Amino acid sequence: MVQAYILIQTEVGKSGVVSRAVGELEGVVKSEDVTGPYDVIARVEAPSVDDLGRQVISQIQEVPHITRTTTCTVVHL
């Protein structure tokens, strides 16, 4: 299982709407509004890196009001 955090920037005033929409997507474990340079952070899981990109990240980037995403894959050192 591949896990990642998706750091999301939204249009002004849209973080709540985006967080709820992202939280409903398959593969999203948790989605929360945050303060700082990002507006929403989502924890996602997928069977493989390819699935992570195809199933999760591509769905998140289609959510309205998102202006930018950064994906941080979890590593186990």
**What number of CA atoms fall less than 13 Å from residue 77's CA on the CB side?**
1
Single pTM value for the model: 0.92
Say what the pLDDT of residue 24 is: 96
pLDDT at 58 over 80: yes
Instruction: Tell which residue, 3, 18, 1, has the closest CA to residue 73.
Output: 3
pLDDT in tens, 5-27: 999 999 999 999 999 999 999 99
pLDDT at 54 over 80: yes
Mean pLDDT over the full length of the chain: 94
Looking at domain 2-73, does it have CATH number 3.30.70.920?
yes
Measured between alpha carbons, how far is 42 from 44 in angstroms, rounded to an integer? Answer: 6
Say what the pLDDT of residue 63 is: 96
Domain boundaries, the chain: 2-73
pLDDT at 72 over 80: yes
